[in-house]
Structure 1
Amino acid sequence: MTIIDHTHLARLDLNLLVAFDVLLTERHVTRAAARLGLSQSAMSHNLGRLRELFGDELFVRGEGGMRPTPRAQALSAQVRSALAGIQATLQASAPFDPARDERRFRVAVYDEMEIALLPPLLERLAGLSSKVRIDVRPFAPAEVPDLLDAAELDLAIGLLGEGRAHHKRRVVCAGDVYLCLFNPRADDPSAPMTAERYAGLPHVRISSREALEDDIDAALAKRRLKRHIAVSTPHAVGVPYLLSRLGAVATLRRSVALAAAETLGLATAEVPLVLARSAVSMLWHASHDHDPAHRWLHDEILQVARGLMPPA
């Protein structure tokens, strides 16, 4: 059991921790002041008190704003967790009601999954008369831990690792299979998709998923086959629209390919290669665990994912 030093804590103004967290997010005194409804001088005064409290500069001027010191970076997760815990305690007596409570969630979605996951998720939320707003953010997997720690993201969905010690991860799809997606007006959808036919078609390569594209090339090379790349793009979301005008093929997750085929009248076929399956996961900051709104959103995403993909 943790012993609370009430005498010491009584000297602490909780608003200083709020100011610290906002400064971490904004990296600018004026913007942080505006976000809290304070004057710039009041925020500067808070920064001075924070420096005295922690015995460190915490933020130093740099290109583009204030850069946190190593001490501030080390404190960031602990302070955010403490503030989130206090907030969750205050909200615990009021269950989250998506039809009444307005919340905004900043969610990073691996762009291939936007095609399959977002439309049915938003349709499901609309059916609940939800007032929840989803802001989809672009991301690179390596940036996710920092974005979660800086409170610039509430949740990430994609090919993600475990994150840091204060992050939580849940697999929503243990390993979706892949399908070929192509234009049936440009290639006979009834013909068997052999490895030779697959290699002979022009391909759309999605450069943001380099590991899978390399696996495809390696599997073809084992059969002494090589494909022709007609176009390379980092954005999987636009690939079905390219295929609707091109006589080419792309290799996409089954859930993504089926959703795109239904929407745009494209055709699918089994990939004539053995490709490794990769898990799609959700990653979030552990400080959200006690927030009923976050728990609700996670459950809604899992419900939608189970309807689209093999369960984890």
Structure 2
Amino acid sequence: MLKQVDLSRVDLNLLVLFEAVLAERHVGRAADRLSLSPSAVSHGLGRLRRLLNDPLFLRTPRGVVPTARAEDLSAAVADALARVRSVVASAEPFDPATSRRRFTIGAPDGVSAVILPPLLQRLRQAAPSIDLGICQLLPTRGETSVERAWLSSLLDLEACKLDAAVIPSDDVPARFAKQVLYEEDFVIAARAGHSFAADPNLDRYCAMQHLLVSVTGDGHGFVDRVLGEQGRTRRIALTVPNFLFALAVVAETDLLCALPRCFAATYAGRFGVVAIEAPAPLGRFRLNAVTTKAALMDEGLAWMLSLLSETRPASIQSA
């Protein structure tokens, strides 16, 4: 039989402190987040260490790092706090028409640019006082596994840095909930009148100069992996850090650029850029809105995820 724990002797605020230090990896930043002094956070950590019989966080020159025990506890603490917050929030039912909440959504920039216009339109109609924060999500550099590439986004959800993440990954752990938003593939963007549009075959594609969207400046992308499997290469003449910048450059040059179809359908026409069918299959994938199952006990967040799942890109709506 499990030993009964007298919760009257446990300060549950210590779990909030644990959550903040785990997220910030720094006592000072955790203190700012909680509106406490660094000494108060250090004192609370001391109490928590004694309570859980583990150092929990080890000091480094740049802050603190969690112990294995702290990492093991992270999901359970997040779940417990989500349940407590749900109980407190239930005292006043969530009403989107009057709510003044702020939700933080993470997504790659080519995705957020597609989902944001219709989402804002829905919010103006149903929840005019709700605010949004959009964070750019990036895959882990050099990671070839789609599932592992977006692991940092899942960790941000568990650390409550994000309310929801929209990622091109189907395989998420069981503790997360997901909703498919839309399917995506890639087209080739070129300026209007580009000679490639008249004969878009693979040989001509590989012979031309290309633009690659790469935040890090790395001149090798997923298209190069696809071409490599066929024994082919291409020249990356330029990298730029985001998709809108890519459209502006493509419009004024002879460079070609592989872009998400929905993104191109939404924005290419504004730049005088045309979308051409790719001369070889470049893959198709689903965009999923993901959050933790524990967080879905928050009525407001459950509503926001539902709204996201009902929001289709304008290019799909008009198709």
Shift of 1:242: 1.4
Counterpart of 1:52?
50
Q: State the alpha-carbon separation in 2 of the partners of residues 307 and 260 from structure 1.
A: 11
Counterpart of 1:30?
28
Shift of 1:186: 4.2
Contact 1:206 1:213 survives alignment (8 Å): no
1:272 aligns with 2:273: no
The one-letter code sitting in structure 2 at the alignment partner of 1:179 is V
Counterpart of 1:179?
187
Q: Describe the superposition over 1:180-237 as per-residue Cα deviations: whole angstroms up to 9, x where unpaired.
A: 2111044475x35333443444322335783344214545x5xxx7544332345334
Counterpart of 2:202?
195
Q: State the alpha-carbon separation in 1 of the partners of residues 43 and 224 from structure 2.
A: 53
1:152 aligns with 2:129: no
Q: Secondary structure at the match of 1:263?
A: helix
- Judged with a 3 Å threshold, the aligned counterparts in structure 2 of structure 1 residues 101 and 213 are, in CA distance, closer, same or farther, namely farther
Instruction: Identify the match of residue 215 of structure 1 among 226, 234, 249.
Output: 226
Contact 2:18 2:45 survives alignment (8 Å): yes
Counterpart of 1:89?
87
Shift of 1:154: 2.3
How many residue pairs get aligned? The number is 302
Contact 2:112 2:134 survives alignment (8 Å): no
Counterpart of 2:147?
none
Q: State the alpha-carbon separation in 2 of the partners of residues 4 and 79 from structure 1.
A: 19
Contact 2:186 2:283 survives alignment (8 Å): no
Shift of 1:79: 0.7
Q: State the alpha-carbon separation in 1 of the partners of residues 8 and 56 from structure 2.
A: 22
- Judged with a 3 Å threshold, the aligned counterparts in structure 2 of structure 1 residues 153 and 127 are, in CA distance, closer, same or farther, namely same
Q: State the alpha-carbon separation in 1 of the partners of residues 307 and 271 from structure 2.
A: 26
Shift of 1:138: 3.7
- What's the Cα RMSD here? 2.9
Quote the sequence identity (%). 30
Counterpart of 1:289?
296
- Judged with a 3 Å threshold, the aligned counterparts in structure 2 of structure 1 residues 145 and 187 are, in CA distance, closer, same or farther, namely same
Residue segments in structure 2 that go unaligned for 5+ positions in a row? 140-149
Q: Decide which moves more: 177-186 or 83-92.
A: 177-186
Q: Secondary structure at the match of 1:279?
A: strand
Q: State the alpha-carbon separation in 2 of the partners of residues 81 and 91 from structure 1.
A: 15
Shift of 1:282: 2.2
Instruction: Identify the match of residue 152 of structure 2 among 143, 154, 171.
Output: 143
Counterpart of 1:118?
116
Instruction: Identify the match of residue 232 of structure 1 among 236, 239, 242.
Output: 239
Q: TM-score, normalised by structure 1?
A: 0.83
Counterpart of 2:133?
134
Shift of 1:148: 2.2
Q: State the alpha-carbon separation in 1 of the partners of residues 236 and 61 from structure 2.
A: 41
